[in-house]
Structure formats: C-alpha cells, structure tokens
Amino acid sequence: MNKQDFSARHPARNLLAVLFALLFVCLWAGKAVAGPIRIGGKNFTEQLILSSITSQYLRAKGYGTELTGGLGSTLMRTAHETGELDVVWEYTGTSLIVYNRILEKLDGEQTYQRVRELDAAKGLIWLDRSRINNTYALAMPRHRAEAEGLHTLSQLAQRMQADVSRGEDDDGKHTFAIDMEFAARPDGLEPLKKMYGFSWKRRQVIQLDPGLVYTALRNDQVETGLVYATDGRIKGFDLVLLEDDKGFFPAYHAAPVARKAVLDANPALAGQLNALAAVLDNESMTEMNYQVDIKQQPVDRVAAAFLREHGLL
C-alpha cells in the first residue's frame, strides 16, 4: 500500500499526524519568541550603565537576557534594524540627525514624536522617553560662575559684549574649549555664536579632544567648555552647566527602543521598560556616571545599586 492509499483509508490518523506536526511547529516558534531579550549598548559609560540596568532589571522580571555592550552607534543601529538586537537605549537627537538625517530645528517633544514615527516604519518602537537629556552644554568652573553671577548662556554673552565695549576683552579672558567636530559642524560653533551674540575671537576658541575639555575646565585653563550634560566629570570636577535659555542645542532624550516583534511576543515588556524609563533623569544619570568614571566603581555594581534604590531589583 502506498502513502496515498494509507492516507485515504485512515483520515483520522492522517489528521492526527498533521495536528502533531502543527503542535511541534507552534512549540518551536514559541521557544524562539520566548528566547532571551538581546540588549545592546554603545561604547561609553552612560550606555554601559543603561544596558546593564536594563539587563539586570529584566532578569529580575523573569526574562533571559543577552547583553552586547561597547558598540559604535552605527553598528548598534544596524544590528537593531536587522533583528540582531531587541532592546537598546537611544537618544532622540541621534536618531533624528544621524540615522534619519533630519536637520529641521525641533524642540524636545517634536523630536521625540518625529523619531517615533520614522523608526516605527522600520519596526523599531520608541517607548516612553526618560528625563535624561544628554545634550550638549556649556560648562564653567563653579567658582567662576558664582563669582560672575552667571546662570545662562544669554548672561554670558551679555558679559562678553560688555567687556568688548569697555575694551577689556583680551584674548585670555573669555576662552572656550570645544572639540574639533563642533568647530566645523554646520549646526555648531558659528550658529551658536550668531544666536547668542558670542564674541569669541579665533584665538579664544581652543580645540581639544573631548576628554581634554573637561581637564582644561578642572585646571581652570579656560572659562567655558563644551560638555555633555550628564557626564560624571561635571560633578567630579565641580563644574556648572549654563542654561541654554534660547534652546540652541537639540534634545537628546534617552528612551528604550524595542523591536515591534519582541514587544508583540512579550505583552508586558513595554510597560516594564516604561516603568524603568520613568525613574531615570539627568541627576541620577550624572551620579551613576560619576560613580563609574570618577570613583572607579564597576558598572554592574552601580547599575544594581540604582535598581535597588528604586525598588526594581
């Protein structure tokens, strides 16, 4: 008897075999979906901390996790788009400007909504943004800011203009340390000068490697420097951030971004990641960066302490 004859004579057995086959496929597919959440992180302190926090938090919630840290921005984005990573922490400004090449001037909420829309088309879902905004900022040594009574960029520009009018604007007084990229960017130094009316001369703008900007500020070698708003060295070197009161710098709010397929397969995951985002802000992020970069504490230990402090671990 051939196979066709057997199937025709024993339809119940044939149906049972099909059902077993379908069950096997469903179980196999379910196992693939229920696999570990693959978390990615970039190659600087803040990202190492955020990815460790996320991995430890999700493990406490019962998920398996695989963590891949130390990635460049472009590599992490590519891995996310191609499905090699499931969850990452991304910055709204990075997605807008670097990945989606949108140079339109947008505020923080507009930036968030635009990247949500653009990345959703690629299967990447932006969850709630945290209160971390790791944008550019101008910093001063605290003693200088307090002596001059400076709190905003507008006040700094007015002080510089007053010095120029009195002829007191010598090259060594209003020095500004920046990295080489910012000096050349079309949305960098020159537009900043134009918006606020800064009167820096060429010899007053000192181009350094990004890390040396903080060192120059700590050593009181420059008046102001371009920094990142949540860098741990702001606290470690006793620096003050001047308020960007005209909104020159774009928003870089950090938010968890997950592949839609992973969120669909894990219905509780979005709410859990949103709860994590809700307790993160610039103050807590700066403190954690400080603990790692200045106090030399291990990343995983700092991440675990944060989770315990907020009752998440």
DSSP string, 129-163: --B-B--EEEEEEHHHHHHHT--BHHHHHHHHHHH
Residue type, 174: H
Give the pLDDT confidence score for residue 34 in this predicted structure. 59
d(CA 134, CA 286): 9
d(CA 222, CA 178): 10
Give the pLDDT confidence score for residue 13 in this predicted structure. 44
CA distances from 97 to 44, 92, 183, 187, 251 (A): 19, 9, 17, 11, 11
Angle (CA) 279 286 47, round 5°? 80
Residues ≥6 apart with Cβ < 8 Å to 297: 291
Enumerate residue ranges in the chain where pLDDT < 50.
1-33
Give the pLDDT confidence score for residue 263 in this predicted structure. 98
Q: Is 168 helix (H, G, I), strand (E, B) or coil?
A: coil
Give the pLDDT confidence score for residue 9 in this predicted structure. 39
Give the pLDDT confidence score for residue 184 in this predicted structure. 85
Give the pLDDT confidence score for residue 187 in this predicted structure. 81
Residues 140/223, Cβ–Cβ less than 8 Å:
yes
Least Cα distance to 124 among 91, 77, 74 occurs for 77
Least Cα distance to 225 among 135, 141, 152 occurs for 141
Q: Name the DSSP class of 238.
A: T
Structural domains for the chain: 34-133+251-309 (3.40.190.10), 136-242 (3.40.190.120)
